[in-house]
């Protein structure tokens, strides 16, 4: 997986630079998400990897499916990926592009996993605290996991805050077994 990310990074950087210079960050996000979704389809994956399917056929298929969702620049980008046999990297390119975009826009999405639903007021407090700590606009993606017993786990980029009861019990067990 790390190798795919490494190979995808220059493509994502090139597209980010182009999008940033044209003020089209959101447009390219949509384009890359569409292209990545098309390429991630299992049937398309089989066609891409099939030795008897020509590059022209793959290009025609991808561009037809994308239709009006692809600008002329996006079509050229897809052609370059096909020519370099890198079309399968589109999901990684899209993910890396989103990281560049979030950095440029000073935003981050934090994953909040809790034992019980988090109220709007609690979400606002969590977002405000993360904004203060990270210096970025924060949007939350909240999910419920009853296995936590109580508390929350917050993941924002490299930051992980485990305030769950299950996490605290695990820490306590480690301390007791290593004491």
* Dihedral over Cα of 114, 119, 125, 130: its sign: positive
| CB-based contacts of 151, cutoff 8 Å, min separation 6 | 114, 115, 163, 164, 165, 166, 167, 168
Give the range among 20-24, 41-45, 75-79 with minimum mean pLDDT: 41-45
Question: For 73-92, what is the mean pLDDT?
Answer: 92
Question: Is the predicted pLDDT of residue 1 greater than 60, yes or no?
Answer: no
The pTM (predicted TM-score) of the whole model is: 0.74
Phi-psi label, residue 151: left if phi above 0, alpha if psi -120 to 50, beta otherwise: left
| Structural domains of the chain sorted by starting position, each given as residue range(s) with its CATH number in brackets | 2-102 (1.10.520.20), 107-177 (no CATH)
The per-residue pLDDT for 168 is 86
The per-residue pLDDT for 141 is 94
85-139 pLDDT tens trace: 899 899 999 999 999 999 999 999 999 999 999 999 999 999 999 999 999 999 9
Task: Enter the tokens of residue 37.
Answer: 């979704």
Task: Enter the tokens of residue 141.
Answer: 């993606």
Question: Is the predicted pLDDT of residue 82 greater than 60, yes or no?
Answer: yes
The DSSP-derived string for 19-45 is: HHHHT-HHHHHHHHHHHHHHHHSHHHH
Give the range among 7-16, 97-106, 148-157 with minimum mean pLDDT: 148-157
Question: For 54-70, what is the mean pLDDT?
Answer: 87
The per-residue pLDDT for 53 is 86
Q: For the chain, give the mean pLDDT.
A: 91
The per-residue pLDDT for 150 is 87
Question: Is the predicted pLDDT of residue 2 greater than 70, yes or no?
Answer: no
């Amino acid at each position: 997986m790390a190798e795919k990310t490494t190979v995808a990074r220059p493509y994502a950087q090139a597209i980010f630079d182009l999008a940033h210079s044209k003020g089209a960050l959101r447009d390219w996000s949509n384009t890359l998400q569409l292209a990545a979704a098309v390429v991630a389809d299992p049937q398309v994956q089989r066609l891409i990897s099939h030795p008897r399917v020509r590059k022209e056929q793959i290009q025609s298929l991808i561009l037809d499916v994308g239709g009006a969702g692809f600008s002329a620049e996006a079509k050229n980008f897809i052609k370059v990926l096909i020519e370099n046999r890198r079309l399968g990297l589109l999901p990684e390119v899209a993910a890396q592009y989103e990281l560049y975009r979030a950095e440029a826009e000073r935003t981050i999405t934090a994953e909040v996993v809790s034992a019980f639903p988090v109220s709007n007021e609690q979400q606002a407090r969590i977002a405000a605290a993360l904004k203060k700590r990270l210096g970025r606009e924060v949007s939350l993606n909240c999910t419920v996991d009853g296995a936590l017993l109580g508390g929350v786990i917050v993941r924002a980029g490299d930051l992980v805050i485990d305030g769950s009861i299950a996490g605290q019990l695990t820490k306590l067990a480690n301390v007791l077994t290593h004491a």
